[in-house]
């Protein structure tokens, strides 16, 4: 979107609330991007899910259940699992907790996953990573059947996404697609550029954008001219984990910018994009924190409800 059009959009306040008014410099007006409020979008998604859970209970006489498998005593993992349980309970789902000791054998871990696969009370299964060093993560997680793979990270789910078959998609890319929709981003025919090619985010994000008819480029640490690639993007999605890597002059005027990266610095949590500079150029941008982050758990709940509907 050219500056003038982006400015008009900003002034009309289309697609939501503006956090900043455009600054006027003499006769030149600088665009101030709309800040996409991930917390508000995630709250709206959770409300939709609560309604979906109530309808599911009405029809099936039980609620969807998310089974989590935590192996070992990693403190951060325990905190993540607890927050997923809370999120489940807030939307009326059941959280089913399984904790295994850090020296559990491969056979015992796999046996648990297979029991959960067969359990009709369990709609979705999540094995919290990382696993203790003696366990091969993909060996354990790939046992989850695709209908219950709410993280969307097994080989079968990735393959289904790659060839366009129905399946559960990874949570963060699903959350980003929702944010793009809320931002009013036009994806059909758009140039979309992703920084980062991880299996967790960059690759599945690319597939979802192609499904939405965008022309997609994935950049990584070997990309020769990152700035030029970024300047082509109508939709720019950064998932690298390098604080403020993306400069303001890398951004096409009017682009929608999604900042997935999180780096802990002395200034607190910082994204991959120079947020203040980007505000002057982009038409919309996600903040860090409060942008993509809140969408990940909301998407996990969405996947669990979807899994419950498929396996009911
Ligand atoms: P990752 O597996 O570490 O992948 C990072 C990617 O960035 C790799 O593809 C790497 O390229 C690329 N890269 C590194 N330095 C680069 C550079 N200077 N220029 C261009 N590309 C570069 O990370 P991830 O798991 O995808 O996560 C990325 C970031 O997103 C992290 O900060 C993570 O915390 C954040 N994240 C946030 C959420 C959330 O819910 N908010 C969810 C997932 C991830 P190579 O492949 O060539 O090494």
Residue 93: give its domain's CATH number: 3.40.50.10860
The preferred substitution site among 129, 152, 205, 221 for testing ligand 1, maximizing ligand atoms within 8 Å of CB, is: 221
What is the DSSP code (8-state) at residue 246?
A: B
Are residues 219 and 134 part of one domain?
no
In this prediction, what percent of the chain has a pLDDT beyond 90? 89
The H helix count followed by the E strand count for the chain is 11, 13
Are residues 279 and 198 part of one domain?
yes
What is the DSSP code (8-state) at residue 132?
A: P
pLDDT band at 21 (very low <50, low <70, confident <90, very high): very low
Are residues 95 and 175 part of one domain?
no
* 224: CB partners within 8 A, 6+ apart: none
H helix or E strand, kind and range, residue 217 = strand 215-219
Is 303's pLDDT higher than 90? Answer: yes
Structural domain total, the chain: 2
pLDDT tens column, 72-109: 999 999 999 999 999 999 999 999 999 999 999 999 99
Are residues 175 and 287 part of one domain?
yes
What integer pLDDT is reported at residue 216 of this predicted model?
98
* Full residue range of the structural domain in which residue 88 is found: 62-152
Are residues 288 and 182 part of one domain?
yes
Are residues 284 and 186 part of one domain?
yes
Mean pLDDT of 13-37: 56
Are residues 284 and 204 part of one domain?
yes
What integer pLDDT is reported at residue 31 of this predicted model?
67
Question: Does residue 18 belong to any structural domain of this protein?
Answer: no
Question: Does residue 82 belong to any structural domain of this protein?
Answer: yes
Task: Check 37, 84, 148, 234 and give the catalytic one.
Answer: 84
Are residues 184 and 109 part of one domain?
no
Segments in the chain forming alpha helices (H): 3-12, 38-60, 75-90, 106-118, 137-141, 155-162, 171-182, 202-211, 226-231, 275-279, 293-311
Are residues 258 and 183 part of one domain?
yes
Distance CA 171, CA 115 (A): 24
pTM tops 0.85, yes or no: yes
Distance CA 218, CA 237 (A): 10
Using DSSP's 3-state secondary structure scheme, residue 148 falls into helix
The preferred substitution site among 241, 244, 298 for testing ligand 1, maximizing ligand atoms within 8 Å of CB, is: 241
Question: Does residue 16 belong to any structural domain of this protein?
Answer: no
Question: Does residue 6 belong to any structural domain of this protein?
Answer: no
Are residues 142 and 180 part of one domain?
no
């Amino acid at each position: 979107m050219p500056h003038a059009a982006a400015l008009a959009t900003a002034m009309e306040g289309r697609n939501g609330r503006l956090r900043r008014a455009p600054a006027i410099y003499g006769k030149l007006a600088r665009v101030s991007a709309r800040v996409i409020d991930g917390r508000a979008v995630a709250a709206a998604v959770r409300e939709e899910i609560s309604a979906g859970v109530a309808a599911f209970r009405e029809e099936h006489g039980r609620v969807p259940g998310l089974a989590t498998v935590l192996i070992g005593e990693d403190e951060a993992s325990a905190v993540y699992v607890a927050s997923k349980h809370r999120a489940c309970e807030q939307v009326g789902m059941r959280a089913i907790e399984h904790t295994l000791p850090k020296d559990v054998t491969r056979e015992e871990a796999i046996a648990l996953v297979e029991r959960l696969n067969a359990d009709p009370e369990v709609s979705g299964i999540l094995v919290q990573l990382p696993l203790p060093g003696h366990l091969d993560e993909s060996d354990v997680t790939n046992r989850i059947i695709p209908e219950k793979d709410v993280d969307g990270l097994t080989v079968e789910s990735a393959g289904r996404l790659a060839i366009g078959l129905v399946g559960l998609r990874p949570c963060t890319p699903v959350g980003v697609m929702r944010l793009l929709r809320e931002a009013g981003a036009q994806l059909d025919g758009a140039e979309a550029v992703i920084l980062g090619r991880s299996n967790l985010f960059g690759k599945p994000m690319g597939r979802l954008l192609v499904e939405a008819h965008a022309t997609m480029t994935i950049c990584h640490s070997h990309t020769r001219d990152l700035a030029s690639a970024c300047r082509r993007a109508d939709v720019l999605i950064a998932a690298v984990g390098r604080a403020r890597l993306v400069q303001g002059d890398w951004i096409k005027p009017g682009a929608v910018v999604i900042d997935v990266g999180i780096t802990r610095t002395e200034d607190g949590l910082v994204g991959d994009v120079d947020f203040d500079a980007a505000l002057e150029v982009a038409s919309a941008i996600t903040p860090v924190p409060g942008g993509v982050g809140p969408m990940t758990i909301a998407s996990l709940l969405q996947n669990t409800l979807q899994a419950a509907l498929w396996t009911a």
